Homo-oligomer: A and B are copies of this chain.
Amino acid sequence: MKKALFTLLLTLSCLVSVAVEVNSPSGNLSLTFDVNKVGKPFYSLTFKGKDVIEPSYMGFKFSDGKDYSNWFTIVKVDTTSFTETWKPVWGEVDSIIDNHNELTALLKHVPTNTFMMIRFRVFDDCAAFRYEFDRNSNHAYIKVENEVSEFNLTGDHKTFWIPGNPDSNEYKYMTTPLSGIDASKADGDAIGTHMIVADNCIQSPVMMKSSDGLYINIFEAALSDYPAMMLTIDKKNFLFTSLLAGGAVKGVAAFLQTPCKTPWRTIIVSDKAEDILASKSILNLNEPCKIENTDFIKPFKMVGVWWEMHVPAHSSWNYADEWNLKLAGTDWNSLKPNGRHGANTENVKKYIDFAADNGIDAVLVEGWNIGWEDWAGNWKEEVFDFVTPYPDFDVKEITSYAASKGVKMIMHNETSSSVTNYERRIDSAIDFMKRWGYTGVKTGYVGWIIPRGETHDGQWMVNHYERVTKKMADAGLMLDAHEAVRPTGQHRTYPNLLACESARGNEFNAWSDGNLPEHETILPFTRLMGGPMDYTPGIFKIKMSDYQGGNTCQVHTTLAKQLALYVTMFSPIQMAADLPENYKEHMDAFQFIKDVAVNWDDTKVLEAEPGDYITIARKAKGSENWFIGAITDENSRTSDIKFDFLDAGKKYIATIYADGKDADWFSNPTSYTIYKKSVKKGDKLKIKMANGGGCAISLKPVE
């Protein structure tokens, strides 16, 4: 043993360690890689000369107990440069530049005579790395207990975080210094906080701000056939280490077969918060589109039989109020209707009419299919069949009515996390959608996963989501996945995955203590870094006491801020989430939702500060119209909007949907004012936002 160690040290000492450096194209970001005296690979990162990541180790702990993070020697390093411009099928901008320098380090693990490559890419706003294993018979199957990628931060940064939980992202964001992270104090998971991994473990992405003004976001890109990455914090040393979401087998987070590669670990950095929101590096780190014919993918707005199930004393997903039913063996036609079932033919037609009358593309209907009486919380495998409507949902009549009105229908497949059941039935579910002309599907994963022991963010489920995305793509169907793992830019590869939920959505405002007014100023810096969210904005009836006297739940924004969210939270699926009758009381304000685009040729992040405010301007796809959204947190704010981004020489009519002078998210949320103004490039506009307020602006060129 002693001899082996001596030989090892001799081998390592024969190599003169030379740190390798790779800079971003502009030189702003500079990454250094090396292997230390005991063969531990490490990297560090600076931005404009300031330390971002201090020396941080890299490697793995394998499930056989093997520490695969030391006794490496560098066999070979290579650097290359890359520039490409590509066009997303849909997005915030018409085209995206991928400009980065790449460093690959081929490492030999001396004790096992196996090889590992670490690939770094350095963009002007992001450094990223991943691990790669060649096909190797010494290393054919690898069981990973954990990946030990470190992110060694320089100080006690201000941090926006939610607790590490492989089964949920539906938390309020906590804002603390790194040293103040305590996952046990996190608030507000709908599923139950008992899955929190450890007090010092949080989800990625995590957003930080250093005392010297750097904005830093740590996340991952291109998660595929691998568990999602959480982060554990060493609070004394401000050191994050990756922690892979576990699954059914204790001690094995990932089952790998070579050749294989991990997702990218991303560090997005800037001294301007706006740059973080504008970064396209996570998309650039994903594979190009793999869907050949993308014609069926069309960003859309929808209304839905949905919010009415969330508000108090209103509708239900379930048709009857019985309990303890079995999918097979229940005579669903003979159940006694509870009289509150939302997904009935007449009610659905009301939504179709509203969509048709207001240029809304599509209608989503939840609770249309048998099984909702008894669907959640019992870890039950046979819950839904995805093809049998309740007796009062006439699919033939509804779909032909929708077609006659030019309105698309969006399917809903709640799986209740019985994923084995969904996988068995997904082909017939797809057949049903194709037969009745549905154009897209919202999936749901509420509850404990079956296969039991697997988690929402574990490798098995990551593979499931990808499988479903591909199946829907093959069938020409768009997808909106709820309660799935948070996205990591895969919509570049599979643009039929238009949106996910994977965060605490607007729905929490209907039946819990809600989302803090700052919530929507943090989401774009965290959850939305990986892809669009179906947040379901557009709630006009803010206070639940309007449905049920004494109910204290409410949306924690003004009505005007609800409009602004259509711009500040990019998504190619946007729901006008409130009830038609509520919109009919404010058709002047609803005009903005009718007008706003869901797909864009250009985007300008005008102002941003995580936890405080965001102002974004976007140019609609194939149009000269611009839309602006500005939001603030619990504090009122005045925004000076500069119209620098408009075309020179053109005049625009701006319609401004602003908070009323007396507006306040809590005491007077529905006070708003709408006015028009002529603007041109170079003009400025002072916008006053209430506490928890916002402002939406549409700009149309004067013909």
A residues near B (Cβ < 8 Å) are 135-137, 140-141, 247-249, 255, 257-258, 323-324, 326, 374, 378-381, 420, 423-424, 427, 450-454, 460, 463
CA distance A255 to B452 in the complex (A): 11
- Residues of B with C-beta under 8 A to A137: 323-324
In the assembled complex, the CB of A501 is this many whole angstroms from the nearest CB of chain B, namely 24
Residues of chain B lying within 8 A (CB to CB) of residue A380: 141, 255, 257
Contact between A453 and B423, CB atoms less than 8 A apart: no
- Provided the pairs A324-B135, A324-B258 are in contact, do residues A248 and B423 lie with their beta carbons within 8 angstroms? no
CB atoms of A452 and B323 under 8 A apart: no
Known contacts A141-B380, A326-B257, A378-B141; decide if A248 and B424 are in contact (CB<8 Å).
no
Evaluate contact between B451 and A379: CB separation under 8 angstroms: no
Distance (whole angstroms) from the CB of A660 to the closest CB of chain B: 50
For A450, list chain B residues within 8 Å (CB). 451
Q: Tell me the bound Cα distance from A323 to B420 in angstroms.
A: 30
- Tell me which of B374, B378, B452 contacts A247 (CB under 8 A): B452
Q: How far is the CB of A325 from chain B (nearest CB, A)?
A: 9
Determine how close the nearest CB of chain B comes to the CB of A139; give it in whole angstroms.
9
A199 to chain B, nearest CB (A): 23
- Complex-state Cα separation, A427 to B424, whole angstroms: 9
Q: What 5 pairs between A and B have smallest CB-CB spacing? A: A451-B451, A140-B324, A248-B453, A248-B452, A453-B453
Chain B residues near A323 (CB, 8 Å)? 137, 140
C-alpha gap A257/B325 in the complex (Å): 9
Complex: chain B residue closest to A247, CB-CB: B452
Whether B324 pairs with A136 at a CB distance below 8 angstroms is yes
Q: In the complex, A179→B463 CA distance in Å?
A: 49
Stoichiometry, copies per complex:
2
A73 to chain B, nearest CB (A): 24
Contacts of A427 in B (CB 8 A): 427
From A326, which residue of chain B is reached at the shortest CB distance? B257
A454 contact from B258, B324, B379, B451, Cβ within 8 A: B451
The CA-CA distance from A684 to B137 in the complex, in Å, is 65
Which residues of the partner chain B approach A247 to less than 8 Å between Cβ atoms?
452
A453 to B257 CA separation, bound complex (whole angstroms): 20
A378 nearest in chain B by CB position: B141
Cα-based distance from A420 to B451 in the complex (angstroms) = 9
Dominant SS at the A interface? loop
A255, B379: Cα distance in complex, Å = 8
In the complex, what distance in Å separates the CA atom of A140 from the CA atom of B258?
46
A423 partner, pick from B136, B374, B423, beta carbons under 8 A: B423
State how many angstroms separate the Cβ of A202 from the closest Cβ of chain B.
Answer: 26
Shortest CB distance A464–B (Å): 9
In the assembled complex, the CB of A519 is this many whole angstroms from the nearest CB of chain B, namely 34
- Nearest-Cβ distance from residue A208 to partner chain B, whole angstroms: 35
A248-B452, A249-B452 are known contacts. Are A324 and B257 too (CB-CB below 8 A)? Answer: yes
Can you name the residue of chain B whose Cβ is closest to the Cβ of A139?
B324
Measured CA separation A258–B323 after assembly (Å): 11
Q: How far is the CA of A135 from the CA of B427 in the complex (A)?
A: 32
Complex formed: what's the CA distance from A140 to B374 in Å?
10
Per the bound structure, the CA–CA distance linking A6 and B488 in Å amounts to 61
Please tell me which one of the listed residues B135, B324, B452, B460 contacts residue A460 in the complex, with CB atoms under 8 A apart.
Answer: B452
Is A451 a contact of B257 with CB atoms below 8 Å? Answer: no
Cα–Cα distance between A259 and B255 once the two chains are bound (Å): 39
Residue of B nearest to A463 (CB): B381
Q: How far is the CB of A132 from chain B (nearest CB, A)?
A: 15
- Nearest residue (CB) in B for A260 is B326
Provide the bound-state CA to CA distance between A535 and B467, in Å: 39
How far does the alpha carbon of A117 sit from the alpha carbon of B597 in the complex, in Å? 63
Q: Is the CB of B249 within 8 A of A453?
A: yes
Q: Please list 10 pairs of residues, one from A and one from B, whose beta carbons are closer than 8 Å in the complex, sorted by A's number.
A: A141-B378, A248-B451, A249-B452, A255-B379, A255-B380, A420-B423, A423-B424, A424-B424, A452-B453, A453-B453
Cβ contacts under 8 Å, A463 to chain B: 381
Query: In the assembly, what is the distance between CA of A411 and CA of B424, in Å?
Result: 22
How far is A135 from B463 in the complex, measured between Cα atoms in Å? 37
User: Cα distance A380–B260 when bound, in Å?
Assistant: 14
Say how far A145's CB is from chain B's closest CB, in angstroms: 14
CA distance A339 to B379 in the complex (A): 50
Measured in the bound complex, the distance between the Cα atoms of B258 and A137 in whole Å is 51
Min CB–CB distance A618 → chain B (angstroms): 39
Cβ 8 A contact of A257, one of B249, B378, B423: B378
Q: A248 — which chain B residues lie within 8 A by C-beta?
A: 248, 451-453
Closest B residue, CB atoms, query A255 = B379
Residues of B within 8 Å of A452, CB to CB, are: 247-249, 451, 453-454, 460
Q: Which residues of the other chain, B, contact A140 by a CB distance below 8 angstroms?
A: 323-324, 374, 378
Chain B residues with CB below 8 A from A378, complex form: 140-141, 257
| Chain B residues with CB below 8 A from A326, complex form | 257
Which residues of B are found within 8 Å of A374, using beta-carbon distances? 140
Query: What's the Cα separation between A463 and B140 when bound, in Å?
Result: 33
Tell me the bound Cα distance from A450 to B452 in angstroms: 11
Chain B residues lying within 8 Å of A381, measured Cβ to Cβ, are: 255, 463
Q: Which of A324, A378, A380 has most chain B Cβ within 10 Å?
A: A324
A324: chain B residues at CB < 8 Å are: 135-137, 140-141, 257-258
Assembly CA distance A249 to B250 (angstroms): 11
Query: Which residue from chain B places its CB closest to the CB of A138 in the assembled complex?
Result: B324
Bound Cα distance A137, B141 (Å): 48
- State A381–B257 Cα separation when bound (angstroms): 11
A404, B562: Cα distance in complex, Å: 73
Chain B residues, CB < 8 A from A454: 451-452
Least CB distance, A454 to chain B, in whole angstroms: 7
Contacts of A460 in B (CB 8 A): 451-452
Of all chain B residues, the one with the shortest Cβ separation from A451 is: B451
- CA–CA, A385 and B249, complex, Å: 25
A371 to B52, CA, bound (A): 47
With both beta carbons as reference points, the residue of chain B lying nearest to A377 in the complex is identified as B141
Residues on B with beta carbons closer than 8 Å to the beta carbon of A453: 248-249, 451-453
In the bound complex, CA of A8 to CA of B463 (Å): 53
